[in-house]
Chains A and B, each alone.
Chain A
Amino acid sequence: NAGVTQTPKFQVLKTGQSMTLQCAQDMNHEYMSWYRQDPGMGLRLIHYSVGAGITDQGEVPNGYNVSRSTTEDFPLRLLSAAPSQTSVYFCASSPSLSETQYFGPGTRLLVL
């Protein structure tokens, strides 16, 4: 198993541009989530999904959209990038509620 994969590894955007961060897992996990991590801080939950077709907001959802059309994929969309969205983004998955989450390697995003 590849586990949780994320693409791209690094991205530079200009303010106002849009883009999609990709996340995929091959462990057949029902639960997937997106976090952002700012320098020297812990992770904050952006959005999460408890299964295909079901998504919900986390702590910091503004400026981000998600969808879950398949069990494997959980893309995160930035509609109009802002410098405040400069961060490292991590995707995670877990087999069921309140079980261990497995994290991807992260995507470093710089918004100029």
Chain B
Amino acid sequence: GENVGLHLPTLSVQEGDNSIINCAYSNSASDYFIWYKQESGKGPQFIIDIRSNMDKRQGQRVTVLLNKTVKHLSLQIAATQPGDSAVYFCAESLRSYKLIFGSGTRLLVRP
């Protein structure tokens, strides 16, 4: 079945450094991918998305890279700040409303 997983359950970075959070997906036909940020006690918050016809998309301090050859998705956060500390989820979908979420990576930012 469809599966979205993450390589690193916890990532600790120094404030000011760049962060890279990785995600593997199993359904090569998935055509839409999203990264969400979830702070403690809150609902997931949209960060950035990318469609399968793109390899890279940039937002404010964030970049998502999609490698369809190896079914890999990554989220890069530039100049990581304490406010970036949260759990990050990737999600995939195939021309449908059904998002399949990964299990999440916790990002800890050291001052």
Contacts and interface: CB of A to CB of B under 8 A. Distances in A.
B99 A101 contact: yes
B43 A90 contact: yes
B43 A97 contact: no
Interface in B29-56: 31-32, 34, 36, 41-46, 49
A92 B101 CA distance: 14
B89 interface: yes
B6 to A, nearest CB: 9
Contacts of B32: 98
A74 interface: no
B31 A98 contact: yes
B93 interface: yes
B81 interface: no
B101 A44 contact: yes
B44 A90 contact: yes
Nearest to A58: B98
A32 to B, nearest CB: 9
A3 to B, nearest CB: 10
Interface residues of B, number: 25
Given A43-B89, A105-B42, A106-B43, A97 B96 contact: yes
A105 B39 CA distance: 11
A55 to B, nearest CB: 11
Interface string A63-106: 00000000000000000000000000010101001101111111
A43 to B, nearest CB: 5
Given A42-B102, A59-B98, 13 more contacts: A35-B101, A42-B4, A42-B101, A42-B103, A43-B89, A43-B99, A48-B98, A50-B97, A92-B43, A94-B97, A97-B95, A103-B43, A106-B42
30 contacts: A31-B97, A35-B101, A40-B103, A41-B104, A42-B91, A42-B104, A43-B89, A43-B99, A43-B101, A44-B101, A48-B97, A48-B98, A90-B43, A92-B43, A97-B95, A97-B96, A97-B97, A98-B31, A98-B32, A98-B95, A98-B97, A100-B49, A101-B34, A101-B46, A101-B99, A103-B36, A103-B43, A105-B42, A105-B43, A106-B42
